[in-house]
Amino acid sequence: MTRMPAAVEMDVVAGPEAEGARRATGAFGPVTTSRATDPDPEVPAKAQRRRFPAEYRLRILKQADACKKPGELGALLRREGLYSSLLTNWRRQREQGALREMRGRRRGPKPRPVDPRVKQLEAETRRLQRKLQRAETIITLQKKVAEILGIPLKPLDNDETD
């Protein structure tokens, strides 16, 4: 077994104190051992499809149209994690005006317009409920005063309820 010259031998220190050591990523510097930065190895049960809002699509199309040098468009697509087929579809949608229509539109069922009469009746119901609550408070107070003063109250008739 041949031994390396003394000038080439190095002491390898493992762990976070190995400043300047080269990592597998090619970066230099201290190795971090934080568990929070480790990616979660769990694979989700069902993959979720990415959704791109109309504003994002238009912004990317504007950037793609501005790319003139060779390789710029590919760099944009890699940076954003997009496929060239998406750009093709988005350009087609832009030409048809579909992206402009999508801007303010929300997905799902459209809310039904509420009849103004319903709103008016709901407001009146709330007002009458507050008035009833006040009246019940006053009646309760009158009963307590009558009980304290010893004033007998006539019993309720059969058609009246308490």
Label each residue of the chain as H, E or C. Answer: CCCCCCCCCCCCCCCCCCCCCECCCCCECCCCCCCCCCCCCCCCCCCCCCCCCHHHHHHHHHHHHHCCCCCHHHHHHHHHCCCHHHHHHHHHHHHHCHHHHHCCCCCCCCCCCCCHHHHHHHHHHHHHHHHHHHHHHHHHHHHHHHHHHCCCCCCCCCCCCC
- Confidence class for position 48, pLDDT limits 50, 70, 90: confident
Q: Do 94 and 134 sit in the same domain of this protein?
A: no
Establish if 46 belongs to a structural domain: no
Share of the chain above pLDDT 90, in %: 37
Establish if 93 belongs to a structural domain: yes
Q: What is the mean pLDDT of residues 40-64?
A: 85
φ, ψ of residue 139 in degrees (nearest 5): -65, -40
The domain in which residue 124 lies consists of 116-153
pLDDT of residue 10: 47
Q: Do 133 and 93 sit in the same domain of this protein?
A: no
The answer, yes or no, to whether residue 91 has pLDDT greater than 80, is yes
Establish if 107 belongs to a structural domain: no
Q: Comparing 153 with 59, which gets the higher pLDDT?
A: 59
**Domain C-terminal end among 102, 124, 140:** 102
Establish if 1 belongs to a structural domain: no
pLDDT of residue 60: 93
Q: Do 58 and 96 sit in the same domain of this protein?
A: yes
* Number of domains, the chain: 2
pLDDT of residue 9: 47
Establish if 77 belongs to a structural domain: yes
pLDDT of residue 82: 92
Establish if 111 belongs to a structural domain: no
Establish if 74 belongs to a structural domain: yes
Establish if 34 belongs to a structural domain: no
Q: Comparing 30 with 92, which gets the higher pLDDT?
A: 92
Q: Comparing 59 with 23, which gets the higher pLDDT?
A: 59
